[in-house]
Amino acid sequence: MTAKIEFENSKKRIEHIEDVLSSVAAGDLDVRVETTIEDDLTGVEEAINILIEDLTYELKQSKKMREELEEKLSKIEEQQNTILRQQDDLLELSSPVTKVWDNILILPVIGTLDSQRAQIMMENLLHKIVETGCTISILDITGVPTVDTQVANHLLKTVTSARLLGADCIISGISPAIAQTIVHLGIDLSVIRTKATLQDAMIYSMRKNRQLVDGKIKTEHAENEEIEN
């Protein structure tokens, strides 16, 4: 009789253990195996409780670590974004387009030109042309030792695009090496105006400018002369 009761008890306790374990498996870490009787099964029950405690602790630790990692990751991402932004800023700073005279823009380029910088430079210059309404711009590349074909292509593209906007773009200071690259590209150079030095480009621009700005006065003058004759 007692054996049967004991057996029934054990069965109930094992069922209880099963319930607790399945709760834990489902994620509820607050449950514990409850026990009142001390016998052979008690050890198992206590061991399970200790295991649940350990598990709870480990889970908390790993959650904390994950949070820390995520925080670090987002910090790194933020830093990376800052670097990218600064790179962009730097690229923009390295192509300063300046209005030097009525109707004349200058973009002096110094240092090595890579494709990306050439691209940004081109966009900046074209935007500035539209913004200021200057019809003459000088792209001075005296400070650029060499260019690869891609960059040379960008330079030529800048000139052709400027023409499409309705502006002249003069390239000055072409080094022998760059001249070689440009000619090897096999692009029609008749549309591109080049000047030896920035000074030459400046003189040319001013003359052209006078023609543009004073054009009307000049034609009036010519008309007057015609009438006199």
Partner 1 sequence: MDLALHEKKIPIIKIHDFLIVSIQVDMHDKLAIQLQAQILEEIEKTGAKGVLIDISVLEMVDSFIGRMLSGMASMASIMDAAVVIVGMQPAVAITLVELGLEMPGVDTALNMEKGIEMLQERLDSEFI
Partner 2 sequence: MDEITFDNNWEQLGKYPIQTEHDIVKVRQLVRHYAKEARMGIVEQTRVTTAVSELFRNMYNYAGGGEVLIERGVVESKRALIVTCLDEGPGIEDLELAMKDGYTSGMGMGYGLPGTKRLVDRFEIQTKVGKGTTVRIMKWR
Binding footprint of partner 2 on the chain (CB under 8 A) = 123, 186-188
209 near 104, Cβ under 8 Å? Answer: yes
152 near 114, Cβ under 8 Å? Answer: no
- Distance separating alpha carbons of residues 56 and 138, to the nearest angstrom: 71
135 near 105, Cβ under 8 Å? Answer: no
Residue 123 found at the interface with partner 1 (CB under 8 A): yes
Stretch that binds partner 1, among 29-37, 40-48, 159-167, 196-204 (CB under 8 A): 159-167
Residue 191 found at the interface with partner 1 (CB under 8 A): yes
- Work out which of 73, 165, 177, 179 binds partner 1, going by CB under 8 A: 165
By a kind-dependent CB cut-off of 5 to 8 A, residue 107 interacts, out of partner 2, partner 1, none, with none
By C-alpha distance, which of 108, 105, 118 is closest to 140?
A: 108
CA geometry: angle 212, 217, 221, nearest 5 deg: 130
Between strands 193-195 and 168-172, the pairing is parallel
Helix, strand or coil for residue 47? helix
By a kind-dependent CB cut-off of 5 to 8 A, residue 198 interacts, out of partner 1, partner 2, none, with none
Which helix (H) or strand (E) segment holds residue 158: the answer is: helix 149-165
Q: For the packed helices 2-25 and 40-93, what is the interaxial angle rounded to 10 degrees? A: 0
- Work out which of 9, 81, 219, 224 binds partner 1, going by CB under 8 A: 219
In the bound state with partner 2, the residue whose beta carbon lies nearer, of 157 and 208, is 157
In the bound state with partner 1, the residue whose beta carbon lies nearer, of 5 and 164, is 164
By a kind-dependent CB cut-off of 5 to 8 A, residue 162 interacts, out of partner 2, partner 1, none, with partner 1
By a kind-dependent CB cut-off of 5 to 8 A, residue 186 interacts, out of partner 1, partner 2, none, with partner 2
C-beta of 133: minimal distance to partner 1 in Å? 5
C-beta of 123: minimal distance to partner 2 in Å? 6
Helix, strand or coil for residue 146? coil
Separation of first and last alpha carbons in the chain: 146
By a kind-dependent CB cut-off of 5 to 8 A, residue 26 interacts, out of partner 1, partner 2, none, with none
Residues that bind partner 1 (CB under 8 A): 122-123, 126-127, 129-130, 133, 135, 157, 160-167, 191, 215-216, 219, 222-223, 226
